Amino acid sequence: MSEKIAKLFKLIEEELELYQDLYFNEFDKGCLLFCHRLESFNERNEISRKIINALDVKIKEKRAIVDEFAKEFDDPDINIEKILKRVAEKRVEEYYRLRHNLESILKALSSL
């Protein structure tokens, strides 16, 4: 069980890093478009596509782990926070910090 929790945290951290990469890449795309550098803009578009695909993989892996816990605990409505409160209480604050950082970068992305 602790291995699954560790994997879950690793995925969340990787997801956060990918969202940060996406944010900076999207910002760069805006600058390139403003400067009429369309070839470079198109290259950045391809990078964004690859980042989004990698995010999709991480999110699916995270969902698979949560689904495993849902089966173990016979709770179809379980989420990461509930899992941690049941089996890794000491890591809840760490999760809240990561979740806050994810929310912040997603807000920043939505404002571009």
pLDDT digits (tens, 9 = 90+) for 53-69: 999 999 999 999 999 99
Nearest partner of 91 among 100, 81, 101, judged by Cα: 81
Tokens of 61: 């892996």
pTM across the whole model: 0.89
| Residue 9: pLDDT over 90 | yes
Tell me what pLDDT residue 78 has. 95
Contacts of 64 (CB under 8 A, 6+ apart): none
